[in-house]
Amino acid sequence: MSLPMTARRCAIVFAVTAAFSGAAFAGCATVPVTFRLADAGAIDGEKLYINGDLAALGNWSTGERNAMVRSSPGGTGWEATLQLPPATPIQYKFVRQGSAGPVWEGEIATFSGNRQALTPACGGTLVLDAGHFVVPAPDNDTIADQPSSALPAALQQHLQAFAAAFNSKDPQRMQRFIEQHGTPELANAAPWATQQLALAKAQKATAGLDLRAVRTYTPTRDGITALFQDRIYGGWYAAKVTVEEGGAQRIKSLMLSPARPAQLPAQPVANEKAMLGMVEAAVKRGCSAGAFSGSILVAHNGRVKFEQSCGESSKRYHVRNNMETKYNLASMNKMFTAVAIAQLADQGKLSLDDKISRFVDESWLPRDVTDRITVRHLLTHTSGLGNFFNEKFMASSRDQYREVADYKPLVRGDKPAFEPGQQFMYSNIGMLLAGVIVEQASGDNYFDYVRQHVFQPAGMRNTDSYALDEPVENLAMGYTPAERSPYGWKENTFIHVLRGGPAGGGYSTVRDLNRFATALSNGALLPKSSVERLWKRQEQIDYALGFESSVGKVGRVVGHSGGFAGINGELNMYVDRGYVVAVLANQEEGASPLAEHIGGLIARMPQ
């Protein structure tokens, strides 16, 4: 279970025009890249931002970074020039920000589903003319799926040829596919170098794709949508294609992105033993393919049924991950902050409906802002506040941010993007301020409070917001793919926080996360009524109070996910089935696909 990640996608056609100039010179730190958008479709009062997969692009976090300006007063065009690393593949999208909150672009016709380009070498410049803002598709449509045999014969042949070329991992074979089965639009949409990089990432994430089904939407969408299934965890990918007119139906564009599971008959899972065997096989495939590096635990009614680790916690020293390895949690820390707030509410030291001005003084935010926001707004991400991973954070030393109060310079000046309580917008500043409230209401340092009142009662001996400059034993480094590096990977040490806090960035083990789940269920942390209040899902969004919360075929699922460059984790508590699934990975997108697969297996078991 994880919240929708608007910006993380996987797809084939490149819809930007890249103009390079200049030649390579001696090493440099950055090169100028100009982003131009001819028509943003923005209304008066809206702002426009660029967000993407590098720290300098915001790492896909919402927040007011990399603002664009209108090309001319009153015109429809916008532009911005950013300093980015040289000779680096980038993925990005435009984000409109208005009174109703952020609106991310929809899926772009590229392998990643995002706009993409390759920055120039040192001494060069790059101008990206991006056309118009791509309006996102509606998320309330209905779907109907049929077996792939329902596709036109010619298109089936083209898509099978695509799968064969993709699965071969042979760039020359993919080029032959484009030449033989595609039109010039497909061949000329982007530089081949960027296509290769996108293909390599998708191939590593899936270990191959197989054509399974065709999908139709109501209301209807342009193009044809074919469904592929990956060979590691059986995840689903939608290939949206447009074809030329006539009998040949050669492909003009092909975009591959994660999709909702196909509505086709699925083989039931007979019992728990069969399910655990399938989990073990899936973990083995993920480890062998390099798609998973981390630890996993599956428990049922308090008893651990399966656990395993693979990969390296340090590629530098070749230290293997193990069941006591501490992984960065990213946003999963938010659960601990929510429990702390609930404990203080039960003690009468605060109310969820208190205005935060009672606890958050004007050294953080002006009174006219804090008087409009409640504690509940912070925990439900409805405050309208943004993200402290902003320009100032990226340009400053991480050593400056160790205690909660150290983040004040990153928060000052932030304003709600909408009237608090009216919209959902994921907010790290909101959860940071929840940590401020823990300190003010309890009289304790935030870290001391959660250590004494959350971790210790739950028996979480290997969980804390460890500082990276301390020699903490068995602490995993995070790794992000670096296709152009001779090592193939890059540590995330210098782009993440030095020490985590109320909004995320702490460390834990899968065994400790299971202990946390047990402590929530047995009353060690909160009375049952308080836990239920934390877990009550908001209307129209799979989020409660500091916990993700959803209801589906498997019943109610609560927990939290976390993700950042080199980090991915999931804790899913299947309330109605008694299962707990904890997956932590020290590489991005390494845990969520596996956790989702296990959830699907549990759903296929008899109740």
Taking only the tens place, the pLDDT of each residue in 562-602 is 988 899 999 999 999 999 999 999 998 899 999 999 999 99
Look at strands 125-129 and 31-37 and give their pairing. parallel
Q: What is the pLDDT of residue 61?
A: 64
Q: What is the pLDDT of residue 399?
A: 78
* Residue 236: partners with Cβ closer than 8 Å, 6 or more residues away: 212, 227, 228, 229, 230, 258, 259, 260, 261, 262
User: Could you tell me which residue, 4 or 583, shows the higher pLDDT?
Assistant: 583
- C-alpha 127/C-alpha 130 separation (Å) is 9
- Range 46-69 average pLDDT: 76
Does residue 510 surpass a pLDDT of 60?
Answer: yes
Distances in Å between the alpha carbon of 300 and those of 270, 513, 583?
A: 16, 14, 15
Same domain, 198 and 85: no
pLDDT band at 341 (very low <50, low <70, confident <90, very high): very high
Of these ranges, 235-239, 426-430, 463-467, the one predicted with the greatest mean pLDDT is 463-467
List the end-to-end C-alpha distance of the chain, in Å, as a whole number: 20
Which of 311-315, 353-357, 364-368, 536-540 has the least mean pLDDT? 536-540
Which structure tokens are listed for 410?
């990153």
- Range 262-278 average pLDDT: 94
Q: What is the pLDDT of residue 27?
A: 65
Same domain, 459 and 500: yes
Does residue 251 surpass a pLDDT of 70?
Answer: yes
243 φ/ψ sector (left φ>0, alpha ψ -120 to 50, else beta): beta
Is 556 domain-assigned? yes
Same domain, 104 and 153: no
How does pLDDT run across 203-232, given as a tens digit for each residue? 888 999 999 999 998 888 888 999 999 999
User: Could you tell me which residue, 14 or 344, shows the higher pLDDT?
Assistant: 344
Residue 513 — φ and ψ, nearest 5°? -65, -35
Q: What is the pLDDT of residue 100?
A: 63
User: Could you tell me which residue, 195 or 498, shows the higher pLDDT?
Assistant: 498
Is 313 domain-assigned? no
Is 51 domain-assigned? yes
Does residue 26 surpass a pLDDT of 70?
Answer: no
Which amino acid is located at 70 in the chain?
Answer: R
pLDDT band at 514 (very low <50, low <70, confident <90, very high): very high
479 φ/ψ sector (left φ>0, alpha ψ -120 to 50, else beta): beta
Does residue 278 surpass a pLDDT of 50?
Answer: yes
Helix or strand run (H / E) with residue 421:
none
Single out the residue in 258, 287, 317 at which a domain terminates.
258
Q: What is the pLDDT of residue 21?
A: 39
How does pLDDT run across 350-395, given as a tens digit for each residue? 999 999 999 999 999 999 999 999 999 999 999 999 887 766 776 7
pLDDT band at 14 (very low <50, low <70, confident <90, very high): very low
Is 2 domain-assigned? no
**CATH number of the domain residue 180 falls in:** 3.10.450
Provide DSSP, 479-491: EEE-TTSTTSEEE
Same domain, 495 and 552: yes
The count of structural domains within the chain is 3
- Range 408-415 average pLDDT: 89
Identify the sign of the CA torsion 384, 389, 390, 392: positive
pLDDT band at 109 (very low <50, low <70, confident <90, very high): low
Q: What is the pLDDT of residue 3?
A: 45
- C-alpha 306/C-alpha 148 separation (Å) is 35
Same domain, 407 and 542: yes
pLDDT band at 44 (very low <50, low <70, confident <90, very high): low
User: Could you tell me which residue, 490 or 5, shows the higher pLDDT?
Assistant: 490
Same domain, 358 and 484: yes
Does residue 482 surpass a pLDDT of 50?
Answer: yes
pLDDT band at 60 (very low <50, low <70, confident <90, very high): confident
Longest CA pairwise span in the chain (Å): 74
Mean pLDDT score across all residues of the chain: 88
Single out the residue in 78, 103, 129 at which a domain terminates.
129
Q: What is the pLDDT of residue 551?
A: 94
Residue 67, helix vs strand vs coil: strand
Tell me the residue range of the domain where 178 lies: 142-258
Q: What is the pLDDT of residue 132?
A: 84
- Percent of the chain topping pLDDT 70: 91
Same domain, 121 and 151: no
Q: What is the pLDDT of residue 391?
A: 67
Which amino acid is located at 179 in the chain?
Answer: E
Is 281 domain-assigned? no
User: Could you tell me which residue, 188 or 452, shows the higher pLDDT?
Assistant: 452
Same domain, 386 and 489: yes
Which structure tokens are listed for 378?
């912070």
User: Could you tell me which residue, 59 or 127, shows the higher pLDDT?
Assistant: 127
Q: What is the pLDDT of residue 8?
A: 36
Same domain, 426 and 551: yes
Per the listing, tokens 């929510």 go with 338
Q: What is the pLDDT of residue 34?
A: 92
Is 413 domain-assigned? yes
Is 168 domain-assigned? yes
**CATH number of the domain residue 76 falls in:** 2.60.40.10
Same domain, 424 and 534: yes
Closest by Cα among 558, 554, 556, 559 to 569 = 559
Instruction: Enter the DSSP assignment of 220.
Output: -
- C-alpha 504/C-alpha 61 separation (Å) is 13
Does residue 23 surpass a pLDDT of 60?
Answer: no
Residue 181, helix vs strand vs coil: helix
Same domain, 114 and 253: no
Distances in Å between the alpha carbon of 337 and those of 214, 453, 522?
A: 43, 11, 19
Strand residues in 13-88 grouped as ranges (E): 17-21, 31-37, 47-52, 69-70, 78-84
Continuous H helices in 462-542: 510-522, 528-535
**CATH number of the domain residue 372 falls in:** 3.40.710.10
How does pLDDT run across 460-477, given as a tens digit for each residue? 999 999 999 999 999 999
Same domain, 110 and 167: no
CB-neighbour burial class of residue 168 (10 A; exposed 0-12, middle 13-18, buried 19+)? middle
User: Could you tell me which residue, 48 or 305, shows the higher pLDDT?
Assistant: 305
Is 317 domain-assigned? no
Single out the residue in 217, 237, 258 at which a domain terminates.
258
